[in-house]
């Protein structure tokens, strides 16, 4: 079965997926960053893995503050194209459109750059392939394993959280018995 070619995927996170960063390896990752929303170092993969960073609301601060903010972006992501943008005046829109047009078409299976860490869906359980059946399978496997562990986030298995442990088991990087509290169901 062939999949339809997708020219553009837009994922709007409203800033809620700073840790998840649902970018795909095969496409262009664009982050629109509000210059007033905090330090770039606190954004995680959403900023670090972006190919293009559009900085908005720069008109609300001084030129010196904009330059300092830009240098802080470069500290966490040296490779991204940084574009100053303004939704009211349209500044930067042509540059963003040009970058999107230059991006090659994707005609293969899409994979996520990072696993999503919240463990509430197949992607959160570490699925990186954008396929409904793969996602459902991964979700069911993760849910089954989550029911066996106490969800203490104790770190005794060597992972910071039980969700990280679940992803490692599903990725076959560690065995289930690494959790000292594993509930064995008969």
Three-state SS for 136? helix
- Looking at 68, 91, 108, which one is the last position of a domain? 108
Domain that residue 125 falls in:
115-186
Predicted confidence (pLDDT) per residue in 84-141, tens digit: 999 888 999 999 999 998 988 777 777 777 765 544 565 666 667 767 788 788 888 9
What pLDDT score does 68 carry?
94
Q: Are residues 69 and 142 in the same domain?
A: no
Q: Of the candidates 108, 134, 169, which is a domain's last residue?
A: 108
β-partners of residue 82 are 53
Q: Are 28 and 74 members of one domain?
A: yes
Do residues 64 and 12 share a domain? yes
CATH number of the domain within which 171 lies: 1.10.15.40
Same structural domain for residues 2 and 81? yes
Question: pLDDT by residue (tens digit) across 36-45?
Answer: 888 888 777 7
CATH number of residue 2's parent domain? 3.40.50.300
Are residues 90 and 7 both part of a single domain?
yes
What pLDDT was estimated at residue 103?
A: 85
Q: List beta partners, residue 30.
A: 52
Q: Are residues 63 and 142 in the same domain?
A: no
Q: How many domains does the chain have?
A: 2
- Give the list of residues 6+ apart from residue 87 with CB closer than 8 angstroms, or none: 56
Instruction: Name the strand (E) or helix (H) holding 99.
Output: helix 93-102
């Amino acid at each position: 079965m062939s999949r339809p070619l997708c020219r553009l995927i837009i994922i709007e996170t409203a800033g809620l997926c700073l840790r998840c960063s649902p970018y795909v390896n095969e496409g262009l990752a664009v982050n629109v960053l509000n210059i007033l929303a905090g330090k770039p170092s606190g954004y995680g993969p959403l900023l670090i893995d972006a190919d293009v960073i559009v900085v908005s609301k720069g008109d609300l601060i001084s030129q010196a503050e904009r330059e300092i903010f830009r240098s802080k972006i470069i500290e966490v992501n040296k490779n991204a194209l940084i574009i100053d943008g303004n939704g009211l005046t349209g500044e930067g829109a042509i540059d963003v459109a040009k970058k999107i047009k230059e991006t090659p078409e994707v005609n293969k299976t899409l994979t996520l750059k990072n696993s999503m860490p919240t463990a509430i869906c197949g992607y959160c359980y570490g699925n990186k392939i954008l396929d409904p059946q793969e996602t459902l399978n991964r979700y069911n496997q993760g849910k089954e394993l989550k029911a066996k562990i106490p969800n203490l986030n104790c770190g005794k298995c060597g992972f910071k959280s039980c969700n990280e442990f679940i992803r490692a088991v599903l990725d076959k990087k560690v065995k289930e018995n690494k959790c000292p509290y594993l509930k064995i169901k008969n």
